[in-house]
Each structure stands twice: as C-alpha cells, then as structure tokens.
Structure 1
Amino acid sequence: MRYFIKQAPRCGTLKSLAVGGTLLCCALAASAMDLLQAYTAAQINDATILAARATAVGERERLPQARAQLLPSLSASLSRNSNHLESTSPNFLGVEQTTNNSYPSNNRTLTLRQPLFRKQLAAQYRLAGAQVEDAEAVLSGEEQNLAVRVSTAYFEAMLTHDQLALVLAQQKAYTEQLDAARKTYAAGSGTRTDVDEAQARLDMNKALEIETRQNVDYTLQQLQTLVNQPIDKLATLNLARLELREPQPDNLQHWIALAEQNNPQLQSLKARVEVARQETEKARSGHYPTLDAIAQYTDSDSENVTNIKQRYVNKVLGMQLNVPLFAGGYVNSQVRQTLAGLDRAEQILEAGRRDLGLRVTKEFRGMTENIPKIKALEQALLSADQMVLSSQKSFQAGSRTLLDISDAEQQRMVVQRDLAQSRYMYLISKIGLLALVSGADEAAIVALNRALEP
C-alpha cells in the first residue's frame, strides 16, 4: 500500500499569492468606471428599472387571463351527506306518530360551459391587449430613461470633478500670489492692500472648495445609487475623441415627427386611449344578452326524502340565454363614466404630444446651440490664457499689479468652467434627444463612451 503525501506550499508561494491578490484588489479599486460600465451596472441593479420590468411581467398576464374567459370551463363537484329525518304524522287512528329515518346521500356533478356570445368578454380581451401594450411602452420608456439618468448622473459627476480641479488649481495660484505679495510688501515695493486682497481671495477659494467637494460627493452618490456599488474613480473626457456633430438630419421637424412615431411615453398614452375606448365597449356590453353552451353530467343517490335509496344519472346538453331587461340605469351610468374617461385620455394624449414637441426642441437646440458655444468658449480660453500671460509679464515690468493677475486668472477659471459645462450639456442633450425617439440604447451609450478614457 502506498501513501501519497501532498506537500504544503512554501512560505514564499503563499506570500506571492497574497501579494498578487492584494494587487488585483487594488487594481480593481483604482480602476475608473466608464459610462458603459455604469450603464451596464444600472441595468442590473437600478431599482426603478427592476420595478418596471416586474410590472411589465405582471401586466403581461392580463392577456392570458382575458383569453381564458373565452375558452371552455370545466368544473366538478362532489358531495356526500348524512341525513337524519324526523317526521310526525297521524296514523290511521288519528294518533300522531313520530318516526326517525337516517340515510346517506351522494351527488357527483361535472359541468362544461362554453361562452358563445359574450360581448363583455370580447371587450375585456381587447382591453387586456391594450393594457399589455401600455405596460410594454412604459417599460421601453423606463429603459430609455435609464440611459438618460445614468448619462446625466455620470456627466454631472465628471463636471463637479472638473470644477474641483479648477478650484484647486486656482487655490494654488492664489497661494503663490499671496506669497509674492508678502515678499514684495516685506521688500518695501508692495502694499498691504495687495496682501489683504490676495488673502481674501484665497479664503473665498477655500470656502468654494468645501462647497465643490460637497457637490462632488453628492453627484457621485447619485451615480452610486443607480449602479448600487461604490465608485472610486470616473473616466475623463478625451477632447481628441469628442466629436461635435449636429443632429442628423439637421431638421427639427423631422425629429419631432420621429418622436411622435417612436416615443415610448406617447405610445403608452395611445395605449391608454385604447384602454379607455375598450372600457366604454365593455360598459355598453351590459345591454347585450349572453349565450353559453352547457354540458352537464350528474350522478346522485338519495337526493331527497322521497327518493331514498334511489340513484339518478342525468345528462344535460343545451344552451343558456340570459337577456338583461332593466338594471336601474346602472349600465347607462357606466357608459357615461367611461366616455368621460375616454375624453380625459384623449386630452392627456394631446397634452403629451405637445409636451413632447417642446422636449424635442429643447434637446435639439441643446445640441445645435452648444456646438458654436463650445467653439466660442475654446477661443475665449485661448484669449484668457494670453491675458494671464500678458498680466504676468506686465507685473514683472511693473505696469500691472497682483490684483490684475488675479482678475485674469479668475476670468480664465470662469471660461474653463463654462466650457466644461457646455461640453457635458452637449453630451446630455445628445442622449436626451435619442431617448425621445427611442434611440437611447446600448449602441448610443457605446458611442458616448468613446469620448471618455480611463
């Protein structure tokens, strides 16, 4: 008999595995989550989209439930009773006499019913179909909205990170200016006003840093709520990959018509109009008769006191017609109520169509108007950089003060902030416009993600 002894790994091997696992965890923690990864995680973890999917699953069951009402129904009943009968009656002498009798009774019934004409059930089936269409449209709208919510949260988080970087860069410049002001003042060539001004601007910048960090935490928390996982880093905007293109085609009316044809929210409102219409048909069906085909088999024993110990087998095949004659005005009231609901649904649909046109116009202009604005701000940034450089050279020559340099750097920061905001607003408007025409899918997210880099 042989024994095989498995040797334990050496200490060095264990250390290598531990170090490798630590490095892997650190790499995952340090890696930046891009937009596509955030969108994929939100599809799995976002509570709103998960609730919409569950709602759609439940609403889809309305159709088989309504269909089942049109199909044959088969029912069976079985009963077994123990009967105790006490009867008192006069005998032939006129004297009342009481007798007790106990006997069992049984009944077995099998019933098959097939609706032949039920206008209410037909309307209910069409109503269920419209309700399922509404649920599918709502789900599609939530999927489009998810792409917008994730993109908006992601780009807002990126914007606050960029703003924090600008504030910290400005803080560094203010610190250097304060040191320079103190040195020039100590040398006798500066003034106390320059020192106080530089100190005041640095203090205001530190207060702005606190506010900006709060915005960073808040926007990051918004994104973490969607993806339901911690986020350490975000990707950055690669300006070389950022393509500023106008909507294709560059025609507002084309996009409005496309949205009216494909927008999920508008499709949902149209389905609700159909739901209201079928509710009216369902209410009107209360005036119509119903016709069913019935087949029944009954097997009974001792079914009453006069038939003790007798068995009956009854087979029935026939038609059952029910004709409503008068319901006190209930059906007419239902019809009037559903007609009011139909009018309400049609007006909501019209309001939704008008609002959709406004939203398409807003997102369309958000793209087309931000493109020239971005280009103008890029040129303004070049001018602001040149202004800072000129102010620094003029200060060295003695014709400018530190306050002039601070003003130039403040103006450059404003331009940088507005430029970053315009770029992100362009991207948000782009995905928003696609969502309105039901085009905010994974391919659209992949296209936006190309402008980012780890």
Structure 2
Amino acid sequence: MMKLSCQQVNYWLLLMLVGIQPVHALRITEAWQLALVNDPEFQSAIQASQASQEQESIGLSALLPKVTYDYQKSYNDSRVTSGNRSLERQYGSYVSSLSLHQPLLDYERWSVYQQGAAGAEQAKQLMRDQQQRLLLRLFKAYTAVLYHAELIELAEHQQRVFTEHYQLNQRLYQAGEGTLTDTLETEARLNLASAEKIAAQNNLDLSLQDLELITGTEVRIAELTPLLKKSGLVQSESNSYQDWLSLAIKHNAQLLAQNHSIEIAKHEIEKQRAGYLPRAAFIASYRNTYSDGESNYRQRYDTGAVGIQISVPIFSGGGTSAALRRAQAQYQQAINGKDLQYNEIRKQLRKHYNLLNSYRAKISAYQLAEQTQKTLIVATKSSVQGGERIKPDVLNAELQLRTVQRDLSEARYSAVSAWLELHYYAGLVDGKVLQQLASLFERR
C-alpha cells in the first residue's frame, strides 16, 4: 500500500483551504480576454501580420513620385599646369540639386504593388486563423485542467474504495474466511490507483502551466468554471458534412490565405515578365552649382530640366528568362499547395464530424449506464442488508460508477472539442461561437 508524501499532503491541504475561500471565477470569456493580450504566440502573430500588411504600402510607394534633394560642398586644392607655368588654386565649391522621378510606364512596379496588396489580404486571413487557433488552444488548456482535476478526484475515490476493501480482506483472511490472493489483488489495485493519482497530478500541473502561459496569469483550479453536465448545444448541432465543407470553402482562413498565395505567385510571374518590357518615367530636376569642376572655376550655373526617360531592355544574360521560369514553377507550387490544404481541411472536417457524432452516441450510452449503475448500487445495498450480497459487491459497484462517470466526462469534453474544431475548420470561430461556448460552462 502506497502512502502520500508530506509534500503531497500539504499540496492537497492547500487546495482544500483555497476551495473554502471566496475566489474570483475565471470564466472562459475572461480567460480569452487575457489570452488576447498575453499569449506570446498570438502576440508574435500580430507583429508578423502588421509587417506583412506594410508590403502594400511599400509597393504603392514605388508607383508614386520620388523627390530627392542632394547637396555637396567641398574645399579644393589643385595645381593647374600649362606648358612651363603652374598655378595653385584653393577654392570652395558646391552642388545643390532637386530632382523628381515619376514612373509613367513600369509594369514591374505595378506587379510589385499588386503583390503587396495580395500579401496584405493574405496576412489578414492568417491573422484571423491565428485568432481562431488561440481559442482552440485556450479551450484545450482550460478543459485539460478541469479534466485532470476530475481524474484526481476519481483516483482519490478509488483509493478510498480499495483501502476499505483491502482492510476488509485482511479481516476476512485473519478470521480464516478469506484468501491471501484476494488481499494481494486488492493491494495491487490500491497501488495502481495511487500511481494513477500521481500521473494525474503531473498532468494537472502541466495543464495548469499551459493555461498560465496562454493567459499570462497565475491560475487556481477553484477559479475555473466547470463544464455543464448536459451540453444541449452540442446535442442540437445538425449540419451535415457537406454543409461543413461548403462553409469551409467560403470561410476557412487558411484556405482563403492560400488563394492569396496563388495570387501573389501569379503577380510574381508578371513581375518577371516585365523584364522584357520598356519603361518610361517623367523626370524633372533643378541644379545650382558653383565651381564644381576645373572647367567652370569660379562660375555659377542654375540649370532646370524636364523630360521623359525611356529604358528598353535588350539583353540580360538570360537572367530574365530564368527568373520567369522560376516564377511559373512557384505558381504551380502554390496551386498544389492549395490542393493539399483543401484535402487536409476535408480530412479534418470528416474526422471531427465523425467524432462529434460518435461522442454524442457515447454520451447517451454513458448517461444510461450511469443511471443503471446508480440503481444497481441501491439494489446491491439492499441485498447486503438482506444477506444476499456481501459488502465488497457494493464497493465494486461504486467503483464501476466512478469509471462510467470518468468516461462520460471525457466524452463530454471531447464532444465540445470536436464541435469547436468543426467550427474552426469551417472558418466560423467568432464572437458568436465564443458566447455559445461560454454558455456550456456553469456560472459561479
């Protein structure tokens, strides 16, 4: 028989003290607000999205006028030799210029701008996906804490049952009415229950850490709001698999982002094709110079110029053709990437759709089993009083009830998780879904 260490005893005494003190309930909606601000993964995604969305502005800047002002002032020390004569000159000079460059015909810059616009839209969809994934991660961490706390409670109950059963077997064995085999078997089951409790405690600690990392705050088990015993929302979900797939095609953030990825690759082809096309730009400049060379020593010039600049590519060593072929290959890669993404979404939708239906059936079966087991316990207790059954039969019946309740709890958590995953892959995780999810938890 295993004994609790002093550290474990102190740990659970602390939990009991915390449980009897009034604490603030950390509902799923409040945890969500904390996660939006404190989750490192989500904050990193925000910065990445902001950086990507600036590509549109960068591309637009290439289409707008570029105005440049240059100023250079220097001191010159020169020697001018003409025949047998040399002349030393020390003088100052400067050049001041203002220039304007406005593209008129530049297909490459236009393609870069289109790429930036598509990249900005892609970043918005990826950001929406990260926000939806955050709710999934939060829900899994939140419910993992609740579930592992329930497993600890079950393990403690098993320990009590097996301890009582073990003591009974010892008394029967000492009185010559029991066997050593029964005693050893019960002791083994008691040790196993103790080991399961230790494992549940470790899992609970890890789950708490995951939840604290997401919310950025210390979390106590007593603050969490448990899942309702009956989740009517999950039971009433009636969309068919084809309905979910149609919704995913329209709303799934990853799929929409992949569409923009194809658009980006398409504009990359046009960008490289621009290497064969001429360019035209409007230019205007004004220069003010003084002694900017030996030929105009001590002379000042004020020069203004307005004109059109045309550039025609002739030969680039084959680089343009190679870049175009590479862009075309990347375009096909993007199309194949979308097909892969679509197939993955279809697979995940089918998986969680089947899981939801499966867990619905399991919940109904476990609920019936729970009621049957409760009735069996009452009947067994009556039989014990009438001398028809023995006390270990009651203990075994209670243990079976706890096992059924554990399986029912797991099915409830898994059903809600499958329901939420369906909404995620359909691209429908929003404020409405958050409120529906919150309604599945008990109020405190």
Q: TM-score, normalised by structure 1?
A: 0.87
8 Å Cα contact 1:148/1:432 also seen in 2: yes
**Aligned match of 1:32 in 15, 18, 25?**
25
Identity of aligned residues (%): 26
Are positions 1:220 and 2:208 aligned together? yes
Partners of 2:230 and 2:343 in 1: CA distance: 38
Partners of 1:244 and 1:116 in 2: CA distance: 59
* 1:335-372 deviations in Å (ceiling 9; x for gaps): 00011111111001011011111111122222222112
Residue 12 of structure 2 corresponds to none
Residue 13 of structure 2 corresponds to none
Written as runs of structure 1 = structure 2, the 5 A alignment for 1:349-388 is: 349-388=338-377
Written as runs of structure 1 = structure 2, the 5 A alignment for 1:194-343 is: 194-233=182-221, 234-240=224-230, 242-248=232-238, 250-343=239-332
Amino acid at match of 2:309: Q
SS of corresponding position for 2:229: coil
SS of corresponding position for 2:95: strand
Are positions 1:150 and 2:138 aligned together? yes
Partners of 1:345 and 1:266 in 2: CA distance: 12
8 Å Cα contact 1:276/1:341 also seen in 2: yes
Partners of 2:75 and 2:203 in 1: CA distance: 79
Are positions 1:135 and 2:97 aligned together? no
Residue 434 of structure 2 corresponds to 445
Which residues of structure 2 form unaligned runs of 5+?
1-17
Amino acid at match of 1:179: Q
Partners of 2:375 and 2:173 in 1: CA distance: 27
8 Å Cα contact 1:147/1:441 also seen in 2: no
Amino acid at match of 2:149: H
Are positions 1:108 and 2:96 aligned together? yes
* 1:93-132 deviations in Å (ceiling 9; x for gaps): xxx2322222322221111111100000000000001111
Are positions 1:165 and 2:158 aligned together? no
Partners of 1:125 and 1:410 in 2: CA distance: 68
Partners of 1:244 and 1:85 in 2: CA distance: 90
* 1:232-287 deviations in Å (ceiling 9; x for gaps): 12222232565442434x21101101101100011111111111111111111111
Computing the radius of gyration from Cα coordinates, the structure with the larger value is 1
8 Å Cα contact 2:121/2:260 also seen in 1: yes
Partners of 1:142 and 1:442 in 2: CA distance: 14
Root-mean-square deviation (CA, aligned residues, Å) is 2.2
Moved more, 172-181 or 183-192: 183-192
Amino acid at match of 1:122: W
Query: Once the 2 structures are TM-superposed, how far is the Cα of residue 218 of structure 1 from its aligned partner?
Result: 1.4
**CA 199–81 in structure 1, closer or farther in 2 if over 3 Å, else same:** closer
Partners of 1:272 and 1:205 in 2: CA distance: 53
* 1:20-64 deviations in Å (ceiling 9; x for gaps): xxxxx9999733322112111111110111111111111221111
8 Å Cα contact 2:373/2:397 also seen in 1: yes
Moved more, 334-343 or 56-65: 56-65
8 Å Cα contact 1:29/1:232 also seen in 2: no
Query: Once the 2 structures are TM-superposed, how far is the Cα of residue 179 of structure 1 from its aligned partner?
Result: 2.8
Partners of 1:126 and 1:244 in 2: CA distance: 43
8 Å Cα contact 1:63/1:132 also seen in 2: yes
Are positions 1:72 and 2:26 aligned together? no
Are positions 1:41 and 2:28 aligned together? no
8 Å Cα contact 1:198/1:403 also seen in 2: no
Query: Once the 2 structures are TM-superposed, how far is the Cα of residue 87 of structure 1 from its aligned partner?
Result: 2.4
Partners of 1:191 and 1:31 in 2: CA distance: 52
Partners of 1:195 and 1:150 in 2: CA distance: 45
Q: TM-score, normalised by structure 2?
A: 0.89
Partners of 1:175 and 1:230 in 2: CA distance: 35
Amino acid at match of 2:348: R
8 Å Cα contact 1:363/1:429 also seen in 2: yes
Partners of 2:20 and 2:380 in 1: CA distance: 44
**CA 141–428 in structure 1, closer or farther in 2 if over 3 Å, else same:** same
Moved more, 276-285 or 213-222: 213-222
* 1:349-401 deviations in Å (ceiling 9; x for gaps): 01101111111112222222211210011111222333444445555555555
Partners of 1:89 and 1:316 in 2: CA distance: 35
8 Å Cα contact 2:252/2:427 also seen in 1: yes
Partners of 2:59 and 2:345 in 1: CA distance: 33
Partners of 1:443 and 1:276 in 2: CA distance: 35
Amino acid at match of 2:324: V
Partners of 1:405 and 1:201 in 2: CA distance: 17
